[in-house]
Amino acid sequence: MVPELVRMSGITKRFGGVLACAGVDFTVRAGEVHALLGENGAGKSTLMNILSGVHTDYEGDVAVHGEVVRLRDPADAQRHGIATIHQELDLVPQLTVAENLVLGREPRTRARLLDRRAMQRLAREEFAALGIDLDPNRPVGSLRVGEQQLVEIAKALSLHAQVLVMDEPTAALADAEVSRLFEIIDGLRRRGVGIVYISHRMEEIEVIADRATVLRNGAVAGSLTPAPEHRPQLISLMVGRSVEAMFARPKTQKPAAEARPLLRVAGLTVRPRTPRPGRAEPDGIDLSVDAGEIVGLAGLMGSGRTELLETLFGAGPAARVTGAVTLDGLPYAPKSPRAALARGVGLVPEDRRGSALTLPHQVDHSMVLSALSRLTTLGFVRRTRERASVLDMMRRLAVKAGAPTAPVGSLSGGNQQKVVLARQLMTVPRLLLLDEPTRGVDVGAKAEIYQILHRLADEGMGILLASSELPELLGVCDRVVVLRRGAVAADLDPADVTGDDVLAAAMTAPGGTDR
Amino acid sequence: MTLLKTPPALARLTGGRRELVDRLFAVQSLVALLVVFIVAILASPTRDGEILFLTAGNLGNIVRAVSEIGIIAVGMTFVVLLGGIDLSVGAILGLSAVGTATLMVDSGYGIAPTVPAVLAIGAVIGALQGYATARLGIQSFIVTLAGLQVARGLARIWSGGLGIPIAYGDGPLQAPPAFEILNGSINGVVPVPAVLFLAVGVAAIVVLRTTAFARHVYAIGGNEKAARLSGVPVTRVKVAVFAVCGLLAAVAGVIHAGQLNQGSPNDGAGYELDAIAAVVIGGTSLSGGSGSMGGTLAGALMLGVLNNILALNNIDANVQLLIKGLVIVAAAGLQRLRRGVA
């Protein structure tokens, strides 16, 4: 039997009156990847916060190497060999890779000065052991997220971590980086490191995890060996009901005559005044979206999906824009998001917290922000009208919030995303642009968001949906446009293609990758 | 400093009492003001059994004394909610006082052209600063630091470096007697500047609670990128906010000239810091996006009461400074604690 590194038994944790964990048993063995699944609010974070010493007042036992301990704080957990790689990485962007690696325990020379040579040697050794190639002298801020993550992993291992908790490690990674991360995780597994892998992405868990434990409402709902044939079972464990058809479209066949051209893009090319390294600007894009149509935008990271949506929303950088764009047959070249909104175009941006929400602000205020002009007289907000439209929108999108006045930050990721969506819908857009709308959203809320999109399309809205999740694109969209290096590589009908076809179109050459 | 010990003690309580703590914190500025007020009563010297602090004359003086800072702090609150800071308000006050005295006395204009002209100058300087922060992307700290120098320089040039006395009468080089009202009181009890302060304060509370403009201010202060992507006219709002702040500093300058019967180019130095102190004590976050106008009003009054009671007790002016410093730190500490609780 493989030795158990960590055994958590009967873990119960309350926040005020809320039961976050109820008698959870969870183990991590040496050399295994143990996936932890569950919808947002199922208790995953709480459980892992107990394991990493963040929460210290809980019932039950945590045993490390068979010995019951009570971890006082994250540093104490680190001393016991437990490290956490958070979604928001804990690195100092201004410092170099090597400096970050030894932060707080810098090697000194005899004169008590920084021993830069020892620092670099340590970094090189650590990277060599992991099999990664990174220059220790580069500032961390200049690395891509995937590389920063590797630094974080190296840092944890240099602190002799034996248990690594990874919280949605692939959420911000390009596909090529995901496969590199998986190679490294595989290497760690062979070194006998135990890994707790938290993710919403079934495909990944099936590839990388040896075991999967599903939490629901703070308790263990079940444990499984992840495999494609177990997927429906896993999902039903998570949501507590069977999701027979996540993408099901409750749609009556639309007569073809209804298809009305909404957005026409021809030869759209963007040349920013100051070039943005690492970004692919639109370079001769042809695209169309009809009213009532959901068009998917596929492509690898850096293929220009986000840049295209930004341009269409007037949120791009100062640039020379050429090509013809029409909206409802009229020329359309928005200078600002405000101008785009005025023309009936809405955007759900990629980075919910960074670009859409202020977490301490109230749900209702956040929802109406873009539509205030509809709710004011002489600049004064009409409270009753505001309240009515907020409640109406919360009902339509099934937003779960304590109250309309609750802070946005108190909502789950899926409900926060619904608030962002609601803000756009309040402006009654004709064309809705969505950039990764289900990132960091649990399965249940994902299905709800898909239903909402279908309903909006049926009501005649045109939708342009950029996503890096292929099942989502193929399951939700009427057409999928694949971008590569800022240009259209393919225009596919999801009924005729598989995810592999989309990926093949997104890559430059077979086997080669394009970032 | 008992006033500041109470909330942290409450914060240690757990369970159902948390809600009570939260509720107390929600009106913490008012609670704190009340506590300071009670402490002031207890600490007040008495004469013939009468509590000096509570005499109508003294209370009137307190509000009169804080009215200029208070009005400036109202404008400052908008700027701070936006995530900015305005260091130029004290200098704008000086410039406005000079402008008032010069236009009214030296140039012989009446109240009607003088006051609007002075207010316009303040608003324009503010608007320019707002435009510079919004369009050129320079931090407001730097823009208004420059604005401070410019306004102070203008005031000195305009006045020739000397205070311009305001005498009242109908003759040449005399100001219209009606202007003296700023130095007077209603019914001999309520000072006119105090009334103006409260009027400005109440108007600002209404604006902040009920207008789309205020929603935009909070949105920009909370997350400027998100605000822009949500269609908030960021530049316009910033220009307006700084214009309002400059305008209110000019209002304070006119009152200042009226109260002192002169326009001195060096007046108002350091007022920006008192105003920021009032805003911070009132619970508005310097990082923007959260805070209230009621808090600022309470903060300004609290500073006034504190100054007054220290003066009534003949506390050394330098010790007064020290105590004020501690109060500001304690107030800021309470804000952190509140976020910790929530």
Whether A270 and chain B come into contact, CB under 8 Å, resolves to: no
| pLDDT (mean) for B62-69 | 95
User: In this complex, do B213 and A379 lie within 8 Å of one another by their Cβ atoms?
Assistant: yes
Most confidently predicted of A153-157, A216-220, B43-47, B126-130: B126-130
Give chain A's mean pLDDT: 87
Q: What is the predicted pLDDT for the residue at B212?
A: 96
State which residue of chain B sits closest to A426, comparing Cα positions. B230
Whether A382 and chain B come into contact, CB under 8 Å, resolves to: no
Domains and CATH numbers, chain A: 1-81+162-240 (3.40.50.300), 90-160 (no CATH), 274-357+413-506 (3.40.50.300)
Give chain B's mean pLDDT: 89
Q: What is the predicted pLDDT for the residue at A1?
A: 65
| pLDDT (mean) for B234-248 | 98
| pLDDT (mean) for A123-140 | 89
User: In this complex, do B18 and A365 lie within 8 Å of one another by their Cβ atoms?
Assistant: no
User: In this complex, do A380 and B222 lie within 8 Å of one another by their Cβ atoms?
Assistant: no
Q: Is the pLDDT of residue A259 over 80?
A: no
Whether A405 and chain B come into contact, CB under 8 Å, resolves to: no
User: In this complex, do B226 and A356 lie within 8 Å of one another by their Cβ atoms?
Assistant: yes
Tens digits of per-residue pLDDT, B242-292? 999 999 999 999 999 999 999 999 999 999 999 999 999 898 988 999 999
Show residues of chain A in contact with B244, CB under 8 Å.
none
Tens digits of per-residue pLDDT, A421-455? 999 999 999 999 999 998 878 778 888 899 999 99
Yes or no: say if B230 and A370 are a contact pair by the CB < 8 Å rule: yes
How many Å lie between the alpha carbon of B220 and the closest alpha carbon of chain A? 10
Q: In chain B, how long is the greatest CA-to-CA distance?
A: 72
Q: What is the predicted pLDDT for the residue at A515?
A: 39
Structural domain including B97 reads: 71-273+284-294
Q: What is the predicted pLDDT for the residue at B16?
A: 46
Tens digits of per-residue pLDDT, B141-193? 999 999 999 999 999 999 999 999 999 988 888 888 889 889 888 887 889 99
Residue with tokens 């039903």: A236
DSSP assignment letter at B105: I
State which residue of chain A sits closest to B220, comparing Cα positions. A358
In a domain, B15, yes or no: no
Q: What is the predicted pLDDT for the residue at A333?
A: 95
Quick check: ipTM above 0.90? Answer: no
Work out how many domains chain B is built from and give that number: 1
What percent of chain B has a predicted confidence (pLDDT) above 70? 90
State which residue of chain A sits closest to B206, comparing Cα positions. A380
* C-alpha B7, offset from chain centre: 25
Q: How far apart are CA B99 and CA B102, in angstroms?
A: 5
Q: How far apart are CA B22 and CA B33, in angstroms?
A: 17
Q: What is the predicted pLDDT for the residue at B38?
A: 94
Q: Where are the beta strands (DSSP E) in chain B?
A: 46-47, 50-51, 164-165, 185-186, 190-191, 262-263
In a domain, B246, yes or no: yes
> What is the H or E stretch that residue A270 is in?
strand A261-272
How many Å lie between the alpha carbon of A383 and the closest alpha carbon of chain B? 8
Q: Is the pLDDT of residue A265 over 70?
A: yes
User: In this complex, do A355 and B233 lie within 8 Å of one another by their Cβ atoms?
Assistant: no
In a domain, B24, yes or no: no
Could you tell me which residues come within 8 angstroms of residue A318 by beta carbon, excluding any fewer than 6 positions away? A272, A273, A274
User: In this complex, do B222 and A376 lie within 8 Å of one another by their Cβ atoms?
Assistant: no
In a domain, B136, yes or no: yes
In a domain, B255, yes or no: yes
In a domain, B32, yes or no: no
Whether B228 and chain A come into contact, CB under 8 Å, resolves to: yes
Whether A432 and chain B come into contact, CB under 8 Å, resolves to: no
Could you tell me which residues come within 8 angstroms of residue A400 by beta carbon, excluding any fewer than 6 positions away? A411, A412, A415
How many Å lie between the alpha carbon of A337 and the closest alpha carbon of chain B? 5
Q: How far apart are CA A105 and CA B157, in angstroms?
A: 58
Residues constituting chain A: 515
Q: Is the pLDDT of residue A35 over 70?
A: yes
Interface test with chain A among B82, B220, B229, B290, by most A beta carbons within 10 Å? B229
Instruction: Tell which phi-psi region holds residue B49, choosing left (phi > 0), alpha (psi between -120 and 50) or beta.
Output: left
The structure tokens listed for B267 are: 């007046």
Q: How far apart are CA A76 and CA A52, in angstroms?
A: 8
Whether B236 and chain A come into contact, CB under 8 Å, resolves to: no
Tens digits of per-residue pLDDT, A288-306? 999 999 999 998 777 889 9
Instruction: Answer positive or negative: Cα dihedral of B187, B191, B192, B197.
Output: negative
In a domain, B197, yes or no: yes
Nearest to residue A489, comparing CAs of A316, A322, A313, A304?
Answer: A304
Number of Cβ within a 10 Å radius of residue B17: 12
Least confident of A227-241, A343-357, B100-114: A227-241
User: In this complex, do A369 and B290 lie within 8 Å of one another by their Cβ atoms?
Assistant: no
Split at pLDDT 50, 70, 90, the class of A61 is very high
User: In this complex, do A337 and B215 lie within 8 Å of one another by their Cβ atoms?
Assistant: no
In a domain, B53, yes or no: no
